[in-house]
A = this chain, B = another copy of it.
Amino acid sequence: MLFNRGMKLDAPDLKPLVFGTAVLASGGGGDPYVGELVMRQSINKFGPVRLTDPSRVSDRALVVTVGAIGAPTVFLERFPSVDAMICAVASVEKAMGRKVDAIAPVEAGGMNALLPIALAQRLNLPIIDADGMGRAFPEGQMMTYGIYGGRLSPAAVVDDDLNLVVIDCDDNKRAEELCRSTAAAMGNGAMSACYPMRGKLFKSICIRNTLSLAKEIGDVAFRANEKKRDAGEAMIEFFASRPKDPRRARTLFNGKIEDVRHDVGGAFLRGHVKLQSNDGAATCDIEFRNENLIARIDGRAVALTPDIITVLEQETGVPITTENLRYGQRVSVFAIEAPPLLRTPQALAVVGPRAFGYDCDYKPLGVAQTTAA
């Protein structure tokens, strides 16, 4: 199988790439700094890596997606294991009865966008410039891979000691629950390989070019910083101006964190954060389950899942993941419209507000914001 190649990533590309995956992560996906360490080590050892454009994946290739599963807080203390990822891929190969031809990330956000690149280098396999979310989400059935007809199983969940659990289940949500309970029993931090798919299906349902998009976001923000421009504004312009995939983005709120609540349980990090505006006149609160899901200003929803909600440090523009939110941080709340594949009725049934238990429908970013004015 011939895989033509896309963007090349070398050591100097890591900082912007990591920044961009953190912006797309909607606060989740695991601490991107941890992913950066894994990738830096990998590039030091194996040299630069080229992304493979999804259009170049052959129809008959076997693609497997990989990512960490658990609560992001756990990976701050327990370094993600590339060996566990290798073991997970090998288990899916065994279950499928054939070798894997290419690796793709489960999600483009945070640490989970970066680990699969390092894994692909170790396995000397192509890493596809695409993912199943264009952001990060807490559950396995919430990927376009599952929404549009892929099968999550056979999936493997592996811990640091290479204890191995292979799940096979027709229903993706049930499969996710079994993966999740396993990850919880493994201490809320494990590696998984899932959604083994033929190239033909993969290409038709993945969200394309999300790794290279992350790198471009980082470049835009870093250039703005150099020019003493506001990184948020530069990113808003960038997203609006992409010819093939224009998207709305906005800065929703500027303020100080007044309260944070973190709760690790059931292999998720659940919680909320409350902000007060710099002039003290308004409040903003964000609820998260690994990822930020809903942002309200003075009680009214202004951004709703699947749109991306990312908290940026005000001074530096650096995204802060949910597990790193702390009392007293001065931040901006930044939102980006979700990719079109996440905003269809079929997708909203799985990743929209009601799928997370909120009693409201999805409203696109601009509309939601107007309602709250």
Contacts and interface: CB of A to CB of B under 8 A. Distances in A.
Contact of A165 (B170, B182, B186): B182
B169 A174 contact: no
Interface in A155-173: 161, 163-171
Contact of A181 (B169, B171, B174, B184): B184
A182 B168 CA distance: 12
Contacts of A170: 161, 163
Interface residues of A, number: 20
A305 B74 CA distance: 37
Interface of A: 161, 163-171, 174-175, 177-178, 180-182, 184-186
A166 B95 CA distance: 10
Contact of A168 (B164, B174, B175): B164
Contacts of A163: 167-171, 174-175, 178
A184 B174 CA distance: 13
A167 B168 contact: no
16 contacts: A161-B170, A163-B169, A163-B170, A163-B175, A164-B169, A165-B165, A165-B166, A165-B167, A165-B182, A166-B166, A166-B168, A178-B182, A178-B185, A180-B185, A181-B181, A182-B182
Question: Chain A contact residues: over half helix, strand or loop, or mixed?
Answer: mixed
A174 B184 CA distance: 13
A171 B164 CA distance: 11
A174 B190 CA distance: 14
A164 B164 contact: no
Contacts of A171: 161, 163
Contacts of A182: 165, 178, 181-182, 185
A181 B174 CA distance: 14
Nearest to A167: B165
B166 A177 contact: no
Contacts of A166: 165-166, 168
Contacts of A178: 163, 165, 182, 185-186
Closest 5 CB pairs of A and B: A181-B185, A163-B169, A164-B168, A166-B166, A181-B181
A163 B161 CA distance: 25
